[in-house]
Amino acid sequence: MIQFIQANEDGFTDIPGRKTIHFFSFEQYFDPDKTGYGVLRVLNDSVIDAGFGLPNHMHRNMEIITYVIEGALSHKDSIQNASTIYRGDVQFISADSGVVHSEYNYGDEPARVLELWVYPNDSVEAPSYGEYCYDWQERVNQWLLFASGIGGKSPVQVHQDINCYATFLEAGRDIDFNVQAGRQAYVVALEGVVVLNDVLFVAHMSAQVSNETLSFHALESSHIVIVEMNEA
């Protein structure tokens, strides 16, 4: 089963220095029918202007994954981490009892990031931070597993049974993804235009999927993310 969600059905925040698409309820945007999907609580697609960002703020009891779509993002936190990640890179925070952090774009161009908040399981022992710099080619015309649960096959591991995949599909190329029985997935089109199971799937559209094989055909170069998890 596939349920498609049009881009104009999502929430949107436009404040000085930052524009964000909210796939689920977040801060001032609230839709009682869109409070998450399985263990995925927040999914935000943000464009951060050069010189802007998020000042220090706290998270508790959440696994936070940030995937850089364009540009660069600089991170600093209360557990002595500071670094900058770039297009295609991933950072993750296990907030546990609490982490204070800031995220800024110190570059000369806008940065675009996809931020995922995932409910943790019970195995978190202390706040932690990590990142991984992937080779861009690892996702070209194939699925890159950029985050997984603890003990999974990704170098980025969070405290929940999820698998996060990305592909950059070149024009004219095809790729499939099987959502197995007992699992579900949330699919987001970040860039480009594909045909997904005979439906035109364009940037900023999303889909909820269960027990289905997904077939993508790129009409132009396209960037897709899938978050796969246990079926709720």
In the chain, the percentage of residues whose pLDDT exceeds 90 is 81
How many separate domains does the chain show?
Answer: 1
Mean pLDDT of the chain: 94
Residues marked as binding?
Answer: 57, 59, 101, 103
Kindly report, residue by residue over 178-191, the tens digit of the pLDDT.
999 999 999 999 99
Longest CA–CA span in the chain (Å) reads: 48
Q: In which domain, by residue range, is 171 found?
A: 2-230
CATH number at residue 53: 2.60.120.10
Per mean pLDDT, which range of 111-125, 152-166, 209-223 is the poorest?
111-125
Does residue 203 have a pLDDT over 70?
yes
Kindly report, residue by residue over 101-146, the tens digit of the pLDDT.
889 999 999 999 999 999 999 767 788 889 999 999 999 999 999 9
The gap between the terminal CA atoms of the chain, to the nearest Å, is 14
Neighbours of 35 (CB within 10 A): 12
Residues marked as binding for Fe cation?
Answer: 57, 59, 101, 103
